[in-house]
A and B are shown apart, each in its own frame.
Chain A
Amino acid sequence: MTTATTFVGSSVKRVEDPEFITGSGTYLDDIKLPGMAHMAILHSPHAHARIRGIDTSKAQQHPGVLAVFTGKDTAGINPLPCAWQAGGVENHVNTPHVLASDEVRYVGDAVAVVVAEDPYTARDALELIEVDYEPLPAVVDPEKATQEGAPQLHENAPNNVCMRWTAGNQEATDRAFEQAEVVVKQRLVNQRLIPTAMETRGAIGSYNPGTGEFTIWMTSQAPHVMKLLLAAFVLNVPENKIRCISPDVGGGFGSKIFCYADMALVAFASRQLGRPVKYVEDRTENYQWTTHGRDHVTYAEIAGTRDGRITGLRVRTYANLGAYLSTIAPGIPTTLYGRMVPGVYKIPATFVEVLGVYTDTAMVDAYRGAGRPEAAYLIERMVDLFAREVGMDPAEVRRRNFVPPNEFPHDNGVGMLPYDSGEYEKALNRALELSGYPEFRREQEEARRQGRLLGVGLSSYVEVCGVAPSAWIGLNGQGWGAGLWESANVRVHLTGKAVVTTGTSPHGQGHATTFAQLVADELGVPMEDVIVEHGDTQGTPFGFGTYGSRSLAVGGSAILRSTAKIREKARKLAAHMLEASEEDVVWENGRFTVRGSPESARTIPEIALAAATGYSLPEGMEPYLDETSYYDPPNCTFPFGTHVCMVEVDRDTGETRLVRYVAVDDVGNVINPMIVDGQLHGGIVQGVAQAMWEQGVYTEDGQLVTGSLMDYALPKASMLPNFELDRTVTPTNVNAMGAKGAGEAGTIAATPAVVNAVMDALAPLGIRHLDMPLAPEKVWHAIQERSASQKEER
């Protein structure tokens, strides 16, 4: 059977764009419902305090205010659920109430809401609420939080430890370290980041008293999952009485996967008031109470031989989870981090210990890459430190330890599913060639003689995406509280126009284009005849949403299953229409023909018309071309690649200039190269930004210093170079497309490439490691200290 491939593999312009470039998109805040009221939320200004009382009387009397609610009013709403506990160990679970009524545990914890006729009035009335707080001691650092005498957040979590989780072989690892010729140790801080989707979060609740149904519009990456969680765990409403809708969503990067208090609060308020209620965060709220990412303190040790072979890896990580568990928080530093720390290397013995820790900070959950950037940073920094210790070129050490291509599927020894495929050395070689690595090394030598600080950093990464199968990730395996398959419906209307419904929920990734490319090819129809629908739980099959670079590998596969079913049914109908036997009907050049007589053919639109009218169908065939599939993959996919970053550090200012950035990624087969490149550009910038600028900072007593875009160092256009991208293509056999996933690869790879480059630049000064972000001030101080001590040494 041959397929006429026209769209797959080509850089088709995005079908999403016309509305966005003309200002006619519909984001949550653009939605205005008749009679809609506006909600504002009062957040705790204290990191930790007891609430002695709340006086809402003045706010309630303020003109234009419709209602004020506190935790007493919302006592019937359950705490938010934690849907992914760390697998195989006990988790001391604490999740937030939608409004705190006795104690607040971070700056941003919600304590009251005002609903008013307009948002300005709601804000005015917030200032009239008087809360009597008794401040309590707070702790923000995950390592300090576990020490004796640290302030305690939750009774059921002694020393603030939510869970202790391990992976790998401790005994073998200890033995490897005892026998090692070389051991390198390093404490690594993977700092807290704030996701900062350009659209903040929000929700609109609308309750219909006649039917008892709720409609909740939300800025969500996973509206079906929100429907399930809100119905079954939070609001105790039948699942078929909640409809969730994600309209156009302005970026998410993980932060919009989760179940948030405001989703329940707008639903509750709407039922109380009999009017739709809208809430939209401002940026300050977004920074205070929408989830943050990363925040690890890690003690890492790598063991090896003098000739550059890695023999062991030992890791102990304090993972900051924030004040409570967000929806999937414990799964991130365990399954998605702990099980990926060996990276692309064949390491005989690895042991990982992770402590999930509560602190008086915003909840920490998945942020672009979610665990894998932390893993890649750890192993790629350690490999560089090891290379330096044994006096070898970091490229050579990598090469020497890669999992070779003939050893796939590869078991990495810490409980990850087997890596599907990889040609790690090929990607490294391409990256070295493209970046002119040997020439740069020569240039660097010359520059060093002149006192200039040039550096080059490598990052050879592997990540896991399209996380599945359900039996592995689920409750008895990795602790995920559901399945992780994906759904799709494809139907072809009487007029030949196709509609694809996906359980994924894009928010910038371009699924409407990519999925239409797939379907157009499979059905032999023009792309403009395929529409992709998503984000509305009404009348669409349940799906898990968009995160973890899963939408194409898992969601796209579900779509292909549906198109295959459609093609199968259409083939039968074509045979009937052509009065041929089924076996003689073949799919060629986007239509069905009879073997040997290509002039008798039927296209999918022609068959769809026959199927929809139903005038003449084969015995037993139901009308219409309409097929639904649920796809649960047999394995995850494992994209990989090598990024090369070249920098020059200014000795006098500590400022790092990105001279060149070359990325060679292998995401398997590519449907739309333009979209994949765009994902990589954006991903790389988020990784570079962690290395160089971004950090979510709390004071010791828990005040968020980086509470706005004035203080949080989001990168601007002028701070960045152009990125030079290339690809190798190693298809996966996990799905029919051979596609792996591209949404997070850039972020995962970039951070260690940049840090390794800066450390390489600073090597002549004897600087071995600095924690991120490598802002000029930090680098300048390090240079000053080393210069001073080098003078003394002389």
Chain B
Amino acid sequence: MAKQEIRVTVNGREHRSEVEPRLLLVHYLRDVLGLTGTHIGCDTSQCGACTIIMDGQSVKSCTVFAVQADGSQITTIEGLAKDGQLHPLQEGFWEEHGLQCGFCTPGMIMSAYDLLQRNPDPTEAEIREALEGNLCRCTGYQNIVKAIQYAASRVREHEPVAAS
């Protein structure tokens, strides 16, 4: 299959690659760039383990072709901590026992990141609603909700919303 050139910025670093047009973005991130923090848990866009931020919005990277990401800015779980400092969401998941096996966690965190950008002070119901596209089989979601509440209060306390 004829390859196409793409240029994407992932976690602040620019990459130029030749990819097959059918290559999924999640495979590009994982297999070409070696960013294996983004996971694959299904083949029907239900589980959300592959959620990333693309041009400011959360997307399921299993449902985007790498060529569609040409020219875009992407943040993955690997790009969330800054200067060795965990993002409040990462802190929240750790503090509140928001993960067990950890497989859904990167997608959960990226979806929550998207939520807090849009709504820095979500109610519990809004958090649960926002996780509509992310499945977890271990935690029963209770501590994931608490983790996001923790992060929301931290973000509100310490920094203006990351909507920059």
Which of B37, B41, B97 is the one whose CB lies under 8 Å from A198?
B41
Q: Is A408 an interface residue (CB 8 A)?
A: no
Chain A residues with CB under 8 A of B80:
22
Chain A residues with CB under 8 A of B36:
23, 26-27, 29-30
Report A445-489 CB contacts with B as 1/0, cut-off 8 Å: 000000000000000000000000000000000000000000000
| B99 in contact with A196 (CB, 8 Å) | no
With both beta carbons as reference points, the residue of chain B lying nearest to A716 in the complex is identified as B132
Q: Which residues from 4 to 38 on chain A have a C-beta closer than 8 Å to any C-beta of chain B?
A: 13-14, 16-27, 29-30, 32
| B138 in contact with A20 (CB, 8 Å) | no
CA distance A509 to B105 in the complex (A): 15
Q: Which residues from 1 to 42 on chain B have a C-beta closer than 8 Å to any C-beta of chain A?
A: 20, 22-23, 30-31, 34-42
| B39 in contact with A27 (CB, 8 Å) | yes
Chain B residues with CB under 8 A of A120:
20, 22-23
Q: Which residues from 679 to 732 on chain A have a C-beta closer than 8 Å to any C-beta of chain B?
A: 679, 681-686, 708-710, 714, 716-718, 720, 722-723
Name the segment of B53-61, B65-73, B140-148, B156-164 touching the other chain: B140-148
Q: How far is the CB of A641 from chain B (nearest CB, A)?
A: 16
Given A22-B37, A283-B41, A681-B139, CB of A251 within 8 Å of CB of B100: yes
Q: Is A253 an interface residue (CB 8 A)?
A: yes
| B90 in contact with A682 (CB, 8 Å) | no
Given A198-B135, A723-B142, CB of A251 within 8 Å of CB of B44: no
Chain B residues with CB under 8 A of A27:
36, 39, 103
Which of B38, B101, B106, B131 is the one whose CB lies under 8 Å from A716?
B131
| B99 in contact with A21 (CB, 8 Å) | yes
CA distance A25 to B93 in the complex (A): 15
CA distance A599 to B63 in the complex (A): 67
| A708 in contact with B100 (CB, 8 Å) | no
With both beta carbons as reference points, the residue of chain A lying nearest to B148 in the complex is identified as A717
Chain A residues with CB under 8 A of B137:
196-198, 251, 253, 682, 686, 714
CA distance A718 to B134 in the complex (A): 11
Chain A residues with CB under 8 A of B76:
23
Chain B residues with CB under 8 A of A30:
30, 36
Q: Is B128 an interface residue (CB 8 A)?
A: yes
Q: How far is the CB of B62 from chain A (nearest CB, A)?
A: 10
Q: Is B83 an interface residue (CB 8 A)?
A: no
| B47 in contact with A709 (CB, 8 Å) | yes
Chain A residues with CB under 8 A of B46:
708-710, 714
CA distance A568 to B1 in the complex (A): 67
| A710 in contact with B35 (CB, 8 Å) | no
| B145 in contact with A717 (CB, 8 Å) | yes
Report A489-512 CB contacts with B as 1/0, cut-off 8 Å: 000000000000000000111100
Given A198-B49, A199-B41, CB of A13 within 8 Å of CB of B132: no
Chain B residues with CB under 8 A of A196:
137
Which of A18, A21, A507, A716 is the one whose CB lies under 8 Å from B135?
A716
| B93 in contact with A17 (CB, 8 Å) | yes
Which of A507, A509, A718, A723 is the one whose CB lies under 8 Å from B131?
A718
Given A17-B93, A196-B137, CB of A25 within 8 Å of CB of B100: no
Q: Is A249 an interface residue (CB 8 A)?
A: yes
With both beta carbons as reference points, the residue of chain A lying nearest to B135 in the complex is identified as A714
Q: Which of B99, B128, B138 gathers the greatest number of chain A CB atoms within 10 Å?
A: B138
Q: Is B116 an interface residue (CB 8 A)?
A: no
Chain B residues with CB under 8 A of A633:
none
| A29 in contact with B139 (CB, 8 Å) | no
CA distance A683 to B137 in the complex (A): 9
Given A21-B90, A510-B100, CB of A718 within 8 Å of CB of B132: yes
Which of B39, B42, B144 is the one whose CB lies under 8 Å from A283?
B42
Q: Is A250 an interface residue (CB 8 A)?
A: yes
Q: Which of B86, B97, B136 gathers the greatest number of chain A CB atoms within 10 Å?
A: B97
Q: Which residues from 41 to 64 on chain A have a C-beta closer than 8 Å to any C-beta of chain B?
A: none
Q: How far is the CB of B116 from chain A (nearest CB, A)?
A: 15
What number of B residues sit within 8 Å (CB to CB) of A? Answer: 57
Q: Is A305 an interface residue (CB 8 A)?
A: no
Q: Is A200 an interface residue (CB 8 A)?
A: yes
With both beta carbons as reference points, the residue of chain B lying nearest to A507 in the complex is identified as B101
| B99 in contact with A682 (CB, 8 Å) | no
CA distance A154 to B48 in the complex (A): 41
Chain A residues with CB under 8 A of B77:
21-23
With both beta carbons as reference points, the residue of chain B lying nearest to A250 in the complex is identified as B103
| A24 in contact with B101 (CB, 8 Å) | no
Chain A residues with CB under 8 A of B94:
13-14, 17-18, 21
| B37 in contact with A250 (CB, 8 Å) | no
CA distance A19 to B99 in the complex (A): 11
Given A120-B22, A717-B131, A717-B145, CB of A23 within 8 Å of CB of B100: no
Chain A residues with CB under 8 A of B41:
198-200, 250, 283
Chain A residues with CB under 8 A of B20:
120
CA distance A315 to B92 in the complex (A): 48
| B141 in contact with A720 (CB, 8 Å) | yes
Q: Which residues from 103 to 118 on chain B have a C-beta closer than 8 Å to any C-beta of chain A?
A: 103-106, 109
Q: Is A771 an interface residue (CB 8 A)?
A: no
CA distance A71 to B104 in the complex (A): 36
| A29 in contact with B44 (CB, 8 Å) | no
With both beta carbons as reference points, the residue of chain B lying nearest to A746 in the complex is identified as B140
Q: How far is the CB of A725 from chain B (nearest CB, A)?
A: 9
| B102 in contact with A250 (CB, 8 Å) | yes
Chain B residues with CB under 8 A of A681:
139-143
| B97 in contact with A675 (CB, 8 Å) | yes
Chain A residues with CB under 8 A of B64:
none
| B138 in contact with A251 (CB, 8 Å) | yes
CA distance A507 to B138 in the complex (A): 10
CA distance A155 to B99 in the complex (A): 47
Which of A18, A282, A683 is the one whose CB lies under 8 Å from B43?
A282
CA distance A13 to B97 in the complex (A): 7
| B97 in contact with A678 (CB, 8 Å) | yes
Report A664-685 CB contacts with B as 1/0, cut-off 8 Å: 0000000000110111011111
Q: Is B74 an interface residue (CB 8 A)?
A: no
Q: Which B residues are within 8 Å of any A CB, using their own CB?
A: 20, 22-23, 30-31, 34-44, 46-47, 49, 76-78, 80-81, 86, 90, 93-95, 97, 99-106, 109, 125, 127-129, 131-132, 134-145
30 contacts between A and B (CB under 8 A): A13-B94, A13-B95, A17-B94, A17-B99, A17-B102, A21-B109, A22-B90, A23-B35, A23-B36, A24-B78, A30-B36, A32-B34, A198-B41, A250-B102, A251-B100, A283-B41, A283-B44, A508-B102, A508-B138, A510-B100, A678-B138, A682-B137, A708-B44, A709-B135, A710-B44, A714-B137, A716-B135, A718-B129, A720-B141, A720-B142
